[in-house]
Chain A
Amino acid sequence: SQQGEEDPQALSIQEGENATMNCSYKTSINNLQWYRQNSGRGLVHLILIRSNEREKHSGRLRVTLDTSKKSSSLLITASRAADTASYFCATVITDSWGKLQFGAGTQVVVTP
């Protein structure tokens, strides 16, 4: 079974709007990472948040982590058509040799 579960599965917004997606996980983690995947391409690392961190920013991205609820959220502000992609959360489970466990992803479509 997958460690992370993203919500929603799909999201359609217009340019300029904010996009928020959530990720829940099951076991204790070292860190949680978010990746973007354009159709048919490899994954691109967006941001990493460690288990002792609560919030992190990178450009238009904001990630929060709530270890008590075993959940994280990714916010993309002022979305652009180029943000159209699938977004995955992935966790590094404690004592797992750094293995990443992925959720099924959120498919985001940003229309001009």
Chain B
Amino acid sequence: DGGITQSPKYLFRKEGQNVTLSCEQNLNHDAMYWYRQDPGQGLRLIYYSQIVNDFQKGDIAEGYSVSREKKESFPLTVTSAQKNPTAFYLCASTNGDYGYTFGSGTRLTVV
């Protein structure tokens, strides 16, 4: 079955540490997105990529970085510069004027 796989499901980060969240899709979608969700709130866009080797900052990109070396993969790195990284992170993809397909999310906690 086609879909988006996010891993890990839970991730714990120590202060000052960089961590990378994985997002893989086998839907042959061109566009991929990373969103952050805080409790009781909607989703806020971190980064997005329309094609391989190209990506754009979203509304809250500071403290995050991404790469898009393959069409199927769009990993997100949460750097030590992100001062409040505890949140639920969601990856999504789409192939045009249709709905997005979302992964099941990664819950990141600072310890």
Contact = CB atoms under 8 A, between A and B. Distances in A.
Interface of A: 2, 4, 30-31, 33, 35, 40-48, 50, 88, 90, 92, 97-105
Contact of B101 (A40, A45, A46, A47): A45
A88 B43 contact: yes
A44 B41 CA distance: 16
Q: Mostly helix, strand, loop or mixed at chain B's interface?
A: strand
B59 to A, nearest CB: 9
Contacts of A30: 97
Nearest to B96: A98
Given A98-B31, A102-B43, A42 B103 contact: yes
Q: Mostly helix, strand, loop or mixed at chain A's interface?
A: strand
Q: Give the 9 A-B CB pairs with smallest separation, nearest first.
A: A45-B99, A102-B42, A42-B102, A102-B43, A43-B102, A42-B104, A104-B42, A42-B105, A103-B42
A48 B40 contact: no
B99 A33 contact: yes
B48 A97 contact: yes
A48 B100 CA distance: 10
B99 A48 contact: yes
A44 B42 contact: no
Contacts of A105: 41-42
B75 interface: no
A103 B43 CA distance: 7
Nearest to B88: A40
7 contacts: A40-B107, A42-B104, A43-B90, A43-B102, A97-B48, A101-B45, A102-B35
A6 to B, nearest CB: 8
Contacts of A41: 104-105
